[in-house]
Amino acid sequence: MNIRDLFLKSGREDLRKPRFLAYDTVPIQIPNTFLFKDSSESDFKKVIEFSEYEILDFLFSKVDFKEIIFEELGLPKNNIKVLQQVKQPLISNSSLKPGDLDLVLYRKDAIKKAIAIEAKCIKAKTLPNGEVVLNKEKNVTKGISQVNEYLQFGFHRTFLLIILLDDGQYIKGFNQFFRNTDLSGSTKLFNQNILQNLHRDVGLLYLKVNQITGKSILQSGKISLLTAKMAKKKKQKKTTTNAISSLLLD
């Protein structure tokens, strides 16, 4: 069951279609090269072992991923600046919450329309016996609280990004592209309370990163992106625009 199906099950019917990206990289071998081949390799970091910062670093290193998220956010493919773990000068008082801004995106020629994003990871795994293990569900509640604090900075748009890290490599009964851990039993990931507790101006994005083979997520995987709620566009605070301008001078 994919992300959109879970939302439809919870009563949401006004969803945009999700965007998908599948990729695989292998050394070229003569005479045969096979893509999306299952492997028993284990000497690599599994997708559920990535931190939020590590997975964001990886995702934004992929041109194809940047294209789909920029398009989803209504941004051009080029001339976009992506900042991670932003503190000063946007956050001048380190004692205030949030301690940093996970992501700030803006067009270099339109800094008064910057987008701030709070990212939280949820980790899911299907064991070889079919058992589902789900961790970090409490991050949804934490993310809602933290992203609501983002509004004090007055960005043009503000989003909560829930990242589902899914290790589905042991789901052997399906085509690799359908190796999704069954999350239908989760009551915290997909429910109307999430939207009700989010400030009305904050948008909600779901990003799923699937490990679908026994290869590193850096080499092979599937990414899907769904907008559950668009953020309200607001006139950006001048202090925030000025802070971004100072970053351009660095």
Query: What single-letter amino acid sits at 159?
Result: F
In the predicted model, what is the mean pLDDT of the chain? 85
Position of tokens 């970091």? 45
The DSSP call for residue 89 is B
Is the pLDDT confidence value at 128 over 60? Answer: yes
Other C-beta atoms closer than 10 Å to the C-beta of 114 total 24
Band of the pLDDT at 2, cuts 50, 70, 90?
A: low
**Looking at 63-72, 154-163, 168-177, 225-234, which range is the least confident one?**
168-177
Domain residue limits at 125: 3-248
pLDDT exceeds cutoff 80 at 1: no
Q: What is the mean pLDDT of residues 127-141?
A: 91
Sign of CA dihedral 30, 32, 35, 41: negative
Number of domains, the chain = 1
Residue 66 has which token pair?
């940047």
Its pTM stands at 0.86
Mean pLDDT over residues 70-82, rounded?
94
What's the CA gap between 202 and 118, in Å, rounded? 10
